[in-house]
Structure 1
């Protein structure tokens, strides 16, 4: 299967994670029959544009369809109450906030294996149904240290989002975004950052990623990411039953910690727990739930040469997750990880 088709399938998985909240679904009837029919016609066109901006063989063609898609999508969103129209068949990620205050669209434009840019926009829910759309401009290629800055929509750190988590602290709402980034020719990234709003405008990042409980103290970060080998699968998602963001712990399979394109899961997990308006890092979460010596070690994760066995690492990672969730009162089946393209 080629990379473009894999990406197309990925978007479908991501979009399925962003089903409309019930309060939004109940408002779909706000769209008049005439507008709904017009939006359906535009959706058919957008579906084809979104497919071609991924599947077209030449970069110039992909970017041409990307441009056509953006212009056509904005025109479609200008219909009154378009906020409630799901655009289910359009091949981009579409996520509604849990409180239905906004929805966020994200996708990527790919020149080649070395240049990948994210696109995005936030559509705000408005009382009169008129369009309020905030474009997101990916500036991550021009950023040396993305972890230490508050950002606006003009200098966004791009990602294809697949989860939004709503938390409140001292009367203010914070939306944590988790997303995927096809970062480089040899490695991929997954991102987490906190989105808030000031005077109706998005604010990406704040020093809410805390490592205060770690033995090795680190300064708070404005966002957090993991980087891992292109062919690996790394779990990074929110577990609503445990109320934790669960992250695969990564190791270098070649014992070269400076080379992120060698990182793979080792079967252990870290976590982040919301506490006093911050996501506080928990080292080896499941280990802390067990007595000494009880952590499962069903699979041998290193071969006789001391090299990581990736298949066993992935299997062990999932087994550990299932066992520890069951022991700690959660469902024995973990949420399905977002599968990245090979």
Structure 2
């Protein structure tokens, strides 16, 4: 029997449970993956609560849970080429990743670079695609100074480093416990909270772009600092102050090959994806409580193997 995280009704974290069932079988054009690690994302909690997020992704209970995964193919369906049993892979499968086994179309998985750990690969799909697409949407250059909010979080830490690779000066908001870490990456850290705009002005005279991974306060601060609305992108407050021309480019806009390219950068040590914590899948509720509490450094994951 295989374990999988599921919920039978929308609600709070208490509706999540670990269940068992027969392992699924790969059909034509599909592969079955024995999952090693599954990543958690804030959108999971929004879907679990029901409402707009659940409707957006067409989720109705009963349902599995999670999206990001990494593991090893243990069976290939008819007609599959390019992958074999024993290949290490990663990717995303909405509402199915937190399980011992998942079945996915072979063209939707990515080969895991040998130097990329399963834990990092299993946390990469949503955050990686969102960071890549949002950064590239602003066409950053060395002439830019960009504000990145939640710069130590799962999306923010990747976005900040990709912005640095584009040559931009990066100022990142984060809790004080993460400031030294951000300095080590080359990011100028600034604390959240009252007086944010003044603190931002103290560390940089002019801002030309902003990547919001936190919410309306970042957008308000960026506009107060003179950043044009068309050079602000948010993945956390889409629709907020839309009259300013603020974009909401996220992972769905990531170009083909973006995730594989980012995985190679992480595997090569050119970009860091810190793992905040790894919980056993039996403690998935605790893992989400930790995620919801915020002030993370990187990603929260659950281990299935």
- Kindly name which structure, 1 or 2, has the bigger radius of gyration based on alpha carbons: 1
- Greater strand share, structure number: 1
Q: Specify if TM > 0.5.
A: no
Give me the TM-score of the superposition, normalised by structure 2: 0.29
- Greater helix share, structure number: 2
